[in-house]
Each structure stands twice: as C-alpha cells, then as structure tokens.
C-alpha cells in the first residue's frame, strides 16, 4: 500500500478487483484521475476469472485431457494443480502490478463497507482507512451458493469449485450437486483425471434450456466417458462417515444413496453484497442480493455503479468487460451505451468437446411465431471439417436455427472441437445481419472448424410453420 494516511480521497473508488472494475480503474488512472481500488483478498487480484474461475478451470480441462492411461491419476492431478496454481499466481501478480504500478492508482487490500453514500471504511487488518470518493464502482462479483440440504453445509467433504481446484488430492469419488454449466464442466474435468463422477440434477434432464436433440448429444458424450448423470434427483440428505460422505437422494419415488470422497456444491452463484453496508449508502438490492441498476449500470445512487456478477446480470467475464465500456461511456464518453446494446451474446460450457450457443433455440423460435428452417449435422458427417479428424475428435453436432422468410440466423448450437472460437463468428454474423446463405458461401481458411459452415448451412433438414396459436 502506497500510503499510511487514515483518511484518503479519490476521484474514483473501485470496490472489488474484477474485470470490469479494473478496466475502468486503469483507464481513469491513465487520464490522471486519482483511483483507489479495494480488494478484500490478496489471492483475488484480477477477480474470479484468473484466480478461481475461467483460467484455472480451463487450464485443468487442458491438463486432464493430456493424461495417458499409464499415468497415475493422483500424480498427474497433483502435478497439474501445481502448474495451474503457478499460472494463476503469475496472472495475479501481473494484475496487481498493472494497476498498483501506475502513479495515479493504489491497490488496497482490505474489507470495505459504506459509511455513507460517498464514504467507505476499509479494514486492512493493520488498521482502518476512511475513503471518500466522487464516483464509486461496485465490482465484488459473486460467491457459490450451497443449497440448504440437510447435512450439506456441515459436511467436512463439501467443497465449492474454488476449494476443489486448490486441493492436490484427487477425489476418487466426486459427487456434484447441480447439472448446470459449472457442474458439467467439473464433471468432465474430474472424470478425465480419473475420478468416479456422479452428477445430481433436480430437473428432468440436463441442459433443459437447449433443444432436446443437442442436449441428448451432450449427455451421450458425458455418459460415454463414464460420468453418471442422475436427472430428476432430489438430494435429501448428506451424512458424513469416517472416510467419506453418503449422499441420499430420491428419484422416481424411491430412495437411493451414493458414497463420495468430495461433494461439489454447483447450484449456482449469488451476488457478493454481504457486509458491504449498502443500506448506509442508500443502494437498493434485489431479493437475491443483487445490486439494482438501470440500463447504464447506475444504482439507486447516481454516482455509484455496479459492474459484473454483483449487478445480477449474466455471470461471464466478457459481460463484466462490456459493463466497463458502458460505465466509461458514462464517465468520459457520450453516455449513450446501455445494456440493451448487447446482441447475440455467445456462451460456452467447457466440456470436451465444448458446447457453445448463441441466440435462441428451435423451440424458442417456434414459440415466438417464426417459420423456421433447421440446418444441422453430426460433426462426424461434416465433410468440409477435416479439422475434427486431424485432432481425433469427431464427436458432437452443429445446429442452426434460421428464419425461413428472411434467412436471418436466429440461433446456433455448436458442440464440437473449437466450438468456443467458431461461435464468435456466428455471433458476429448475427450482430451485423449476415444471412445464413452468406455464411454458407463464405471462403474460410483450411483446414479449420469454421469451414464446416460450408456444409452444415447447405443442409436444410426441415421447414415448418410456427406452433398453432403462435402466429
């Protein structure tokens, strides 16, 4: 910390070292504004993504897939965790130095809480600071939700995703409560490392927001790799034993149980707003604790903004980055950027191969009254995609939902090698009104995954009317 003063003043105070907040802090600091950034943990410089989110988990995807059958699962896992921790330490240090190294920016490690709308107290562990600021950004992110299942919170075997990727001991039997993006990613990772993995999903099926045909292929891939997915499961109790825990659940009216060495609570994340003293600032929150914001990300106090997961929006690093653009437009721009400007935002669940989506599904398109045509193929049948054969992974499917009247791409689901990259091309096309025929007939580099569009979009498998009563 660059100062020992008990009372500080800043042009901009950022609470939380996430993607959006640090981006605004760096830009405002480069313009000569006095910026203070408060982060409560010295292990979270840079935010969730480089420390316990995107970077370490996707690195583990990579390391898990490199393990050979003859490699000891425990030794390979321990070595992988060590390499990933070295990577996150590198990123953490770079984030800290990138901001604190600026003459106009100071990073303070401590717990912040509002005293009044313009004043924040910070407990640094060595003392207390009082900070006043003209503009304040809330960028504290989110934290794992542990469901109120009897015995789950008390179990010594319950872990969050952040806990799990810090341990160097590979669980032989991993139970995952929640079959959403987080649960499925960890299921794929730990199954490849050698764990026996059981996923409990309360809904009748996993990936229920997708079309059934795409979700079925994804489930088949996970099941073929040995992941046990139990959908329609209601977990009723967790009981600790001497060497593990028992997960008790009900399915189809019958009671069952599974033994586990670790239980991952993957039931979602909630905005991290506890102990911030938002009442003292007059900042309103929603029922789930999210900071309420308008389309410009202003809170109920116009000088206070909320960026990233804490505002209850989509929980993705790239959304937090775009939040920073909206806030910077308010602070130094024309003030016209809003959250409504976001169109065709892609999402990826990093199972292997990745599952990436953008836009709406076939069932959503029909419900909205569109006449649709569907273009889709299994990856193994896409002649124009030798990339999949080159890297020896032809699993998956590509599916496009297209407006039959306008040839507009309404949505896509890509479950294939390189899907996380390919989907960006589709999203860009959707944002700029590029029609399906144009995407089909474009010239792509070879051999790549993107050139699959040449084949897939030439295959219209059906054209139907909207659902009755939806016209």
Q: 10 Å Cβ neighbour count for 298? A: 17
Residue in the block written with tokens 């890297």: 391
Spatial distance between the Cα atoms of 202 and 231, rounded to a whole number of angstroms: 6
Spatial distance between the Cα atoms of 116 and 282, rounded to a whole number of angstroms: 8
**8 A C-beta contact, residue 35 and residue 156:** no
* Encoded tokens for 109: 């490690």
Does residue 118 carry a catalytic annotation? no
Using alpha carbons, list the distances in angstroms from residue 115 to 14, 119, 272, 425.
Answer: 15, 5, 18, 47
Got the DSSP string for 149-172?
-TTTTT-TTEE-HHHHTT--SPPS
Instruction: List the strands of the sheet with 158-159, edge to edge.
Output: 158-159, 262-265, 173-177, 196-201, 228-231
Spatial distance between the Cα atoms of 410 and 393, rounded to a whole number of angstroms: 27
**8 A C-beta contact, residue 308 and residue 21:** yes
| Residue 397 exposed, middle or buried by CB count within 10 Å (0-12, 13-18, 19+) | buried
* Encoded tokens for 353: 């191969």
Query: Which residues, 6+ apart, have CB-to-CB distance to 241 below 8 Å?
Result: none
Q: What is the four-CA torsion angle of 61, 66, 70, 74, rounded to 10 degrees?
A: -40
Residue 178, SS3 per DSSP: coil
Got the DSSP string for 279-300?
HHHT--B-TTSPBP--TT-B-S
Residue 229, SS3 per DSSP: strand
Q: Please state the φ and ψ torsions of residue 425, each to the nearest 5 degrees.
A: -65, -40
Half-sphere exposure of residue 103: CA atoms within 13 angstroms, side-chain side = 3
Spatial distance between the Cα atoms of 32 and 47, rounded to a whole number of angstroms: 24
- Conformational region of residue 242, where left means phi above 0, alpha means psi within -120 to 50, and beta covers everything else: alpha
Out of 209, 234, 256, 446, the active site residue is 446
Instruction: Estimate the share of the chain in helix, then strand, then coil, as percent rounded to the nearest 5.
Output: 30, 25, 40
CA angle 52, 56, 57 (to 5 degrees): 95
Active site residues: 446
């Amino acid at each position: 910390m660059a100062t020992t003063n008990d009372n500080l003043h800043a042009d901009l105070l950022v609470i939380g070292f996430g993607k959006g907040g640090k981006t605004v802090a760096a830009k405002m600091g480069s313009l000569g504004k006095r910026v203070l950034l408060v982060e409560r943990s010295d292990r979270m410089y840079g935010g969730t993504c480089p420390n316990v989110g995107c970077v370490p988990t996707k690195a583990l995807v990579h390391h898990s897939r490199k393990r050979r059958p003859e490699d000891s699962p425990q030794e390979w896992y321990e070595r992988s965790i060590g390499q990933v921790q070295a990577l996150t330490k590198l990123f953490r240090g770079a984030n800290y130095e990138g901001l604190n190294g600026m003459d106009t920016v100071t990073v303070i490690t401590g717990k912040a809480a509002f005293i009044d709308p313009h004043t924040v107290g910070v407990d640094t562990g060595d003392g207390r600071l009082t900070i006043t600021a003209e503009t304040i950004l809330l960028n504290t992110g989110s934290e794992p939700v542990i469901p109120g299942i009897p015995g789950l919170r008390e179990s010594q075997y319950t872990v969050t995703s952040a806990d799990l990727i810090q341990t160097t001991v590979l669980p032989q039997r991993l139970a995952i409560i929640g079959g959403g993006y987080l649960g499925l990613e960890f299921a794929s990772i730990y199954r490849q490392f050698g764990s026996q993995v059981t996923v409990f999903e309360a809904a009748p099926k996993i990936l229920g927001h997708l079309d059934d045909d795409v979700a079925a292929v994804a489930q088949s891939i996970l099941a073929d790799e040995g992941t046990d997915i139990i959908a329609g499961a209601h977990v009723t109790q967790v009981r600790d034993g001497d060497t593990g825990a028992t997960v008790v659940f009900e399915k189809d009216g019958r009671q069952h149980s599974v033994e586990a060495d670790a239980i991952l609570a993957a039931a979602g994340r909630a905005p991290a707003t506890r102990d911030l003293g938002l009442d003292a600032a007059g900042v309103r929150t929603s029922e789930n604790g999210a900071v309420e914001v308008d389309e410009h990300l202003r809170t109920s106090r116009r000088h206070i903004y909320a960026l990233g997961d804490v505002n209850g929006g989509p929980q993705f690093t790239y959304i937090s980055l775009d939040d920073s653009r909206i806030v910077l437009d308010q602070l130094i721009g024309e003030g016209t950027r809003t959250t409504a400007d976001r169109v065709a935002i892609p999402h990826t669940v990093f199972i292997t191969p990745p599952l990436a989506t953008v836009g709406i599904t076939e069932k959503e398109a029909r419900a909205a009254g569109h006449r649709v045509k569907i273009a889709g193929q299994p990856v193994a049948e896409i002649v124009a995609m030798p990339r999949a054969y080159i890297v020896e992974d032809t699993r998956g499917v590509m599916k496009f939902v297209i407006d039959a009247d306008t040839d507009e791409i309404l949505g896509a689901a890509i479950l294939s090698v390189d899907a996380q990259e390919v989907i960006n091309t589709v999203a860009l096309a959707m944002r700029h009104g590029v029609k399906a025929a144009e995407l089909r007939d474009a010239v792509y580099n070879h051999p790549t995954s993107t050139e699959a569009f040449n084949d897939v979009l030439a295959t219209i498998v059906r054209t139907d009317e909207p659902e009755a009563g939806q016209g």
